[in-house]
Homo-oligomer: A and B are copies of this chain.
Amino acid sequence: MNGFELHNPTKLVFGAGQVQQLGKLVKPYGTRVLLVYGGGSIKRTGLYDEVLAQLESIGAIVHELPGIEPNPRLTTVKKGIAICHAENIDFILAVGGGSVLDAAKGVAVGAKYDGDVWDFTINKAVIRDALPLGTVLTLAATGSEMNGNAVISNWETKQKRAFGSKYAYPKFSILDPKLTFSVPADQTVNGIVDIMSHVFEQYFSLTPDRPLQERFAESILLTVIENGEKALANGSDYGARANLLLAGTYALNGTIQNGVVTDWASHSIEHEVSAIYDIAHGAGLAIIFPNWMKYVYREGISQFVQFAVRVWNVDPTGKSDDEIALAGIEATRAYFTRIGAPATLADVGVDAEHLDRMAEEATQFGSIGSFKKLGKEDVKAILELSL
């Protein structure tokens, strides 16, 4: 493995009823709170009332930024930044899934920056400060609850870009599996695919001799594979929801990334698809990832053989490495299909029209990925495999 630094200061507060800790957790950061949330499902479930009661218990003055989109938009983030400035906000509280958390991170870093927050996503500026941020998570998916990363969509330019900073780690994240009981099947599926994809981006690497990171990654995949189907069979299965939620956090909190050169090409490609078509991130990843695997596996076939054997229990007896690796990739696709994820761009209504533009955008700063460095033609080939 390579050298690395790991510093993850987020306090994880996990378990049924932990929202009751919220007031106590927010209190040290001040009383002027910006509450960030999505489409209102937290009002239907009663979570909104619980959160407000907690904030009232510490005498907080609450301003709101509702309506965060599934692919959170730059315009919305800017609205939040304006509220922070106008209302002298002390603390940002995100209540929702990954999109809400990512938008809140955008607000947190943007509120402490004089320029355009979009600058951070195009390497025009470096994040040097942020408002403190806490989260109450309602969806097992992005891992945003325990890292400093966020993805924002610029709807005007049809671009979807990420930023990351040590300043954007949540101070705390409350993870109550019961809050995910009401997540509908399609979003549960997207979450499962998202978590598995995060692991893939870090597991398929050419960095040698990192057995612990590999086994940790396989542990997350096996846990998600087993518990994903359980959660889909019974949305109120506490154990399944809890295991998914914890797996999602560990998929992207640094644990499996320590000292590993990661890839992230599939995410970059998916971002270009969903920047234009506004499809769910998990759906896009389900379509693209197995095709990325097929396109690149020969660059490091032993990793794909190990994946097939350890994660999908492929029997290697009498098979060539090529056959074993492909069986693992097929098993991945079969699992995605079994849980109801789309397999082709056609399944989500995307045709070949913009493939060239997507490939162009994905590689605008140069080749992407590390397992195999992908240029524009490679990206286009993967997109064509996905039609």
User: With A3-B14, A14-B6 given, is the CB distance from A246 to B219 under 8 Å?
Assistant: no
Partner of A11, one of B5, B18, B215, B218: B5
A239 cross-chain contacts in B, Cβ below 8 A: 1, 208-209
Most buried by B among A9, A10, A219: A219
Contact status B7-A11, CB under 8 Å: yes
**Which residues of chain A from 174 to 230 have a CB within 8 Å of any chain B CB?**
208-212, 215-216, 218-220, 222-223, 226-227
**Bound CA–CA A222/B212 (angstroms):** 8
Chain A residues touching B, range: 35 or more
User: With A7-B12, A259-B15 given, is the CB distance from A246 to B212 under 8 Å?
Assistant: yes
Contact status A6-B11, CB under 8 Å: yes
Contact status B212-A220, CB under 8 Å: yes
A218 cross-chain contacts in B, Cβ below 8 A: 215, 219
Residue A258 at the chain B interface, CB threshold 8 Å: yes
A226 cross-chain contacts in B, Cβ below 8 A: 211
Partner of A219, one of B18, B208, B216, B247: B216
**Which residues of chain A from 122 to 165 have a CB within 8 Å of any chain B CB?**
none
Contact status B212-A250, CB under 8 Å: yes
Residue A243 at the chain B interface, CB threshold 8 Å: yes
Contact status B209-A242, CB under 8 Å: yes
Residue A236 at the chain B interface, CB threshold 8 Å: no
**Which residues of chain A from 311 to 359 have a CB within 8 Å of any chain B CB?**
none
Residue A121 at the chain B interface, CB threshold 8 Å: no
Residue A31 at the chain B interface, CB threshold 8 Å: no
Partner of A215, one of B6, B9, B13, B223: B223
User: With A212-B247, A215-B219 given, is the CB distance from A258 to B14 under 8 Å?
Assistant: yes
**Which residues of chain A from 226 to 285 have a CB within 8 Å of any chain B CB?**
226-227, 239, 242-243, 246-247, 250, 255, 258-259
Contact status B222-A246, CB under 8 Å: no
Contact status A246-B258, CB under 8 Å: yes
CB of A132, distance to nearest CB on chain B (Å): 15
A9 cross-chain contacts in B, Cβ below 8 A: 7, 9
Partner of A259, one of B14, B209, B215: B14
Q: Which of chain B's residues has its CB closest to A222's CB?
A: B215
Contact status A14-B4, CB under 8 Å: yes
Q: Which of chain B's residues has its CB closest to A238's CB?
A: B209
**Bound CA–CA A154/B227 (angstroms):** 48
CB of A4, distance to nearest CB on chain B (Å): 5
Q: Which of chain B's residues has its CB closest to A259's CB?
A: B14
A259 cross-chain contacts in B, Cβ below 8 A: 14-15, 242, 246
**Bound CA–CA A9/B10 (angstroms):** 8
**Bound CA–CA A215/B247 (angstroms):** 11
A212 cross-chain contacts in B, Cβ below 8 A: 219-220, 223, 243, 246-247, 250
Residue A8 at the chain B interface, CB threshold 8 Å: yes
A216 cross-chain contacts in B, Cβ below 8 A: 216, 219
Q: Which of chain B's residues has its CB closest to A214's CB?
A: B219
**Bound CA–CA A219/B213 (angstroms):** 9
Given contacts A1-B239, A7-B9, list 18 more A-B pairs with CB under 8 A: A1-B242, A3-B15, A3-B17, A3-B18, A4-B12, A4-B14, A9-B9, A12-B258, A211-B222, A211-B226, A212-B246, A215-B215, A215-B218, A216-B216, A218-B219, A246-B258, A250-B255, A255-B255
Nearest 8 CB-CB pairings of A with B: A3-B15, A215-B219, A209-B239, A7-B11, A6-B12, A212-B223, A9-B9, A211-B223
Question: Can you show 9 pairs from A to B with CB atoms below 8 A apart?
Answer: A1-B243, A3-B18, A5-B13, A15-B259, A212-B223, A212-B243, A212-B250, A215-B222, A219-B219
